[in-house]
Amino acid sequence: MPRPNRIAPTGERFATAARGLLIGNRGCLVDAQGEFTARRWTTKAWICCRLDWKGRSRPVAPPGRWTALFFLDEATAMSAGHRPCGYCRHEALTAFKGALGCRSKPIASIDAELHTARLARPYARRRLDALGDGAMVRIPEDPTPLLVWNRALRPWSAAGYGPPRDVVRTLEVEVLTPAPMLAALAGGYRPLVHPSVISS
């Protein structure tokens, strides 16, 4: 059985056999036997990393060390509140900070702001035409996360995105992506997206 270490755009964990493009973490989320606890995080530095970096390998859930989480793509990771890693994705983090207009700001300060934003509930509501590509939303009375991309909405699933849905651009939607992530997207940051965005 797959471990419940895949992350949805809402930030919740679930189990699936489908593969994603990125790995990341929120600190150690398992007990001494390597089983998940009720903890959602143990650090404010929620990051997303490359699956392969310099040939390194490690256990998925070693007790006392960071627990690996997996994402369909970076748009999903950003929606869940994870920023680029400063080691394996240094260029992406530099671009992310640049899009936020805070290249010299300490990363701990950015992480603290992100932590507050990703825990904010209820989700904000905004008009669809005010959101940039890469944002994740839901429309009224539909629980399906949707990716904003090329003026359309792409239904999210663990395996990829479905065909685009044409919607009224003035529609008010529930925004899953935290405000600082939206600001980075508005500032020109382009997240890594699953190939199904192009093929569907």
Q: What is the dihedral of CA 80, 85, 86, 89, to 10 degrees?
A: -120
pTM beyond cutoff 0.85: yes
Cβ 176 vs Cβ 138: under 8 Å: yes
- For residue 148, is it within any domain? no
In order along its 200 residues, the chain shows pLDDT tens digits of: 899 999 999 999 999 999 899 999 999 999 999 999 999 999 999 999 999 988 888 899 999 999 999 999 999 999 999 999 999 999 999 999 999 999 999 999 999 999 999 999 999 999 999 999 999 999 988 999 999 999 899 999 999 999 999 888 899 999 999 999 999 999 999 999 999 998 65
> ∠ CA(15), CA(17), CA(20), 5° rounding?
90
- For residue 193, is it within any domain? no
Burial bucket for residue 64 (CB in 10 Å: 0-12, 13-18, 19+): exposed
Structure tokens at 11: 């930030």
- For residue 75, is it within any domain? yes
Q: How many domains does the chain divide into?
A: 1
Name the CA radius of gyration of the chain, rounded. Answer: 16
The range of the structural domain enclosing residue 18 comes to 6-89
- For residue 196, is it within any domain? no
- For residue 77, is it within any domain? yes
- For residue 51, is it within any domain? yes
